[in-house]
Each structure stands twice: as structure tokens, then as C-alpha cells.
Amino acid sequence: MSAAPERTAGGREGNLRREGDRRREGAGGAEQDLEDQGNLGNGRDGAPPTGGLTRRGLAVATGTAAAVIVATTAGQAVPALAPLDLLAPRRPDLGPQGLPVNRTARAARVAVAARDPGYRLEVVGTRRVGYDLAQLHALPSHTVRLPITCVEGWSADATWHGPRLRDLLDAALIPVDATIRVESLEAHGGYRASEVRPAHARDPLTLLATGLNGADLELDHGYPARLIAPDRPGVLQTKWVHRVVLL
């Protein structure tokens, strides 16, 4: 009898009350009995003796908080939820040419190099093939509809135009099972180049895009040319491409 108040004050199980313990200890102490009586009227969702949230109330509040967060952030990836996209850091339809930009040309310090009229794209395989701007735009152009998905969670569909990567690889006699590296004009940074394995390099949807949504690619989207491949993280969709090399 003397040990009972100590138990209710947070003894053996801390204050984490177990249904079973309560039943076992039910006859043990006066405090415990009082508490049980306080809960009687409300059944399993019994109100605490001091008044406050019920279990159901807590579940509803927590569930609502989680649901509101999901509903107001999922819009950065789910087009149907875009109007609700209040808490997410991105709106997938805002940005130049209707598409967000994560890293601008200025941040990547390529603004001058990318606008250089003397720009050349080099594809280096068994053969080395170079293209100036006019030659790049004269290549057979394809149009694909592909999402761009940032690792930070936003994604958006876009229409891309440009030569297929595999046609450029073929011209440089790069074997079909080869892994290649696509290099940006960026001089520094962990994501200045990316490797492309055969599954993506040879996919007919993979382009070295020079256009976006019916217009020339804007500088911040990777002008003069950028990689766009299906099912690939955005940081690996290298922008401001100037070299493609066989590994």
C-alpha cells in the first residue's frame, strides 16, 4: 500500500501507463482508483483527469498536421496539387520558360563562357567530332516530353528539343555499350560533369537539348546545350554542356 503513490508518480514504467499494469495495480492504491474513476465516463478515449486532449483528439491533430504538410508541399511534384503548394520551397511552374531553375548560370560562373559565339561542342570517342553553334542547330532535332526531377523534391514536365545523344555518340564512333561523361562549361563544383551509362545514353528519349517548350534554351536552363534523360536525378542532367567523352 505504501509503495503505490510512488508508482503512479512515475515508478517502474516511468509515467507511461500500460493498460495491463493499470488493471494489475487497480486494487493497489487510492490514487490509481481515483484516476480510473475519472476516466470511466469516456471509455477508451478517456479524458485525462486534468482535462485536455483525448487520444482521438491527439490522433486527429497529429494526422491533420501531417496531412496539411503533405497537401501543401506535394504540389511541387504533383501537378494537380500545385495550387495548394504553399509550404514547399518551389512552385514547379515558376521560372524562365515556365520551369524552375536551381543553379543559375551566374551561380555556376558560366554566364560569359556559355554566351561565347565561338562555343564548340566536342564529342570525343574513337573519333573526335566538333560542332559550332550553327552546326549544332543544323543537326536533326527531336522533340520529347520528359519531367525534370530535382533531388530537392520538385519536378515538372517539359517539352525538350534537340539532337539525340545516341546520334552524337554514333558520329564519334562510341560503342553502344560504353559509359560516357558529359562535361559542363563549369570550372568547379561537384556536379560539373556526370556519367551516363548505356541504358540512358542510348535511350531514344535522351537528348542534348538546345530548346525548351518551343523556344531556344535560356541561359539558366543550360544554353547552348544540356543533357535531358528519362528517369534521372536533376543534378545529373548536366547543363552548359561542351564536351562528351568516352570513358
Partner 1 sequence: MARMLSGRLPDPPAAVRRGPPWAGAFPSTLHDQRVASLLGIALGITFGTCFLTGLVSHFMQHPPNWLSWPSRPVWLYRVTQGLHVTTGLASVPLLLVKLWTVYPRLWERPPVRSVTHALERLTLVPLIAGSIFQLATGIANIAQWYRFHFFFTVTHYWVA
Q: Provide the binding-site residues for partner 1, judged by CB under 8 A.
A: 5, 8-11, 13-19, 39, 46-50, 52-53, 55, 58-59, 62, 65-66, 69-70, 73-74, 76-78, 88-89, 102, 146-147, 149-153, 155, 190, 197-200, 203, 205-206, 229-233, 235-236
- Smallest gap from residue 160 Cβ to partner 1 (A): 12
The smaller minimum CB distance to partner 1, of residues 136 and 229, is found at 229
The smaller minimum CB distance to partner 1, of residues 85 and 186, is found at 85
- Smallest gap from residue 41 Cβ to partner 1 (A): 13
The smaller minimum CB distance to partner 1, of residues 129 and 236, is found at 236
- Smallest gap from residue 102 Cβ to partner 1 (A): 8
Q: Which residues contact 130 (CB under 8 A, 6 or more apart)?
A: 120, 121, 122, 123
Burial label, 201 (beta-carbon count in 10 A; 0-12, 13-18, 19+): buried
Q: Rounded to an integer, what distance in angstroms lies between the CA atom of residue 45 and that of residue 86?
A: 34
The secondary structure of 111-142 as a DSSP string is HHHHH-TT-EEEEESSSEEEEEHHHHHHSPPE
The smaller minimum CB distance to partner 1, of residues 18 and 24, is found at 18
Q: Rounded to an integer, what distance in angstroms lies between the CA atom of residue 75 and that of residue 156?
A: 10
